[in-house]
Structures are given as C-alpha cells and as structure tokens.
Amino acid sequence: MTTFLAQHGSELIVKTWQQISISFIALALGIIVAVPLSLILMKFHRTAKVVIALASMLQTIPALALLAMMIPFFGVGRVPAIIALFLYSLMPILRNTYVGLTSVNPDTIDSARGLGVTEVQLMLKVDIPLAMPVIMAGIRLSAIYIIAWATLASYIGAGGLGDFIFNGLSLYQPDLIFAGTIPVIILALLTDYLLGKLEHKITPQGI
C-alpha cells in the first residue's frame, strides 16, 4: 500500500477529483432540469406520462452505449461524459419529484389556499416541503448511479477512477483495480450519507 501510494498517490487524488467533479456537475444539472420540469408537469398529467416514459427509455440504454453515442456530437472528454450522465440522472429525479408533488394531500393544499397563499407560495411552502422526502430519495438514487457510471467515462477520455480500473484489468494489476473500485464505493456511500443528512435538515419535522 505504501509503495503504491508513493507511486500513484498524486494521480489517485487527481482521478478522484475528476470523478467527483464529473458526477457533481451531472447531478446538479439533473436537479436543475428535473425539479422545475416536474413542477410544470404536475399541472399537465397526460404530458407528464409521456415525458416520464421518454426519461425511462433513456434509462434503459446501456451506459457505455450512451457514452459512445455522445462522441459523434461532442467528441471525447469531460463534456460528452457529463451530458450522458446528466441524461441518466433525469429519470429518478423527475419521477420521484413528480410522484412526491402529486401525492401531497389535497386537503392540505385546500387549507393553504384558504389562508390566501399564492400559487408560488403554495409550491414553495407546501408542495415542495411535503414532497421533499420523496424528491431527496430520487436525488440520492441518481447520485449513486452517476458516481458508479462515471467510471465508464474513462472509455471516452473523461478521466476519473475508471482509468485505474480499466488499466488494472488490461495490465492484470489488482492494485490498480482496487485503487479505482474502493474510492468509488467510498464516494457512493459518503454521498448517500451526506444527502441523507441534508434530507433530514431540509425536511419539515413531523413528515
């Protein structure tokens, strides 16, 4: 272990940072697009079914195939990897946000309207807070998916911990494989833990 860190320690830090940055940007884009889109779709239920079905179709495309499809349009590197991972992030966040928002008790909504709140206030102070546990479940699931699939971004020159894994497989070096897989597992577990803490903090007590 000491010898490996001496040889590859700085590279491990760089690859881990690449993995984190690619995953974070893709997840952030997924949240920025999927949550507002769900707020719109909750007013148009028929359209929502079509959009969610299309997002589900994207989820069925193998990650490596989707990454390869990005190359003719965006070349190789971080940009196509982020776009592909962003597309993968949409379905869990979109579906959970839509389900959470449409599952809010109608009596609660009517009571809030009876107090004279505007539609924007209703959305921000009632709908989203009450749906937050379901929304966060989708975000946590999406985050774990993205961190895992980001290892495949190595195939299109995006870097990340996948470089260690695939180099280890091609060179038959277990230490490289472990150097890639163990940090990915730690990142996934740590991200889920931190998002769970965030969920607890922003979810109204009593829900």
**What whole-number distance in Å separates Cα of residue 122 and Cα of residue 100?**
15
pLDDT of residue 1: 62
Contact assessment for residue 26 and residue 89, using Cβ atoms and an 8 Å cutoff: yes
pLDDT of residue 207: 55
Helices (H) and strands (E) in the chain, counts: 9, 0
Q: Mind listing the pLDDT tens digit for each residue in 61-101?
A: 888 888 888 888 888 889 999 999 999 899 899 999 999 99
Q: Mind listing the pLDDT tens digit for each residue in 133-164?
A: 999 999 999 999 999 999 988 888 888 999 99
Q: Which amino acid is at 182?
A: I
Q: Interior CA angle at 180 toward 179 and 185, to 5°? A: 105
Contacts of 16 (CB under 8 A, 6+ apart): 161, 183, 187
Give the mean pLDDT of 37-50: 88
Q: Which two tokens stand for residue 167?
A: 């180099």
Helix (H, G, I), strand (E, B) or coil at 203: coil
Residue 23, CA distances (Å) to 50, 57, 63, 103, 200 in order: 27, 21, 14, 29, 22
**What whole-number distance in Å separates Cα of residue 75 and Cα of residue 156?**
8
**What whole-number distance in Å separates Cα of residue 85 and Cα of residue 25?**
9
Domain boundaries, given as residue ranges, for the chain: 10-202
Quote the DSSP letter at residue 127: I
pLDDT band at residue 172 under the 50/70/90 scheme: confident
Quote the DSSP letter at residue 157: T
Quote the DSSP letter at residue 207: -
CATH 3.40.605.10 fits 10-202, yes or no: no
Give the mean pLDDT of 185-191: 95
pLDDT of residue 4: 64
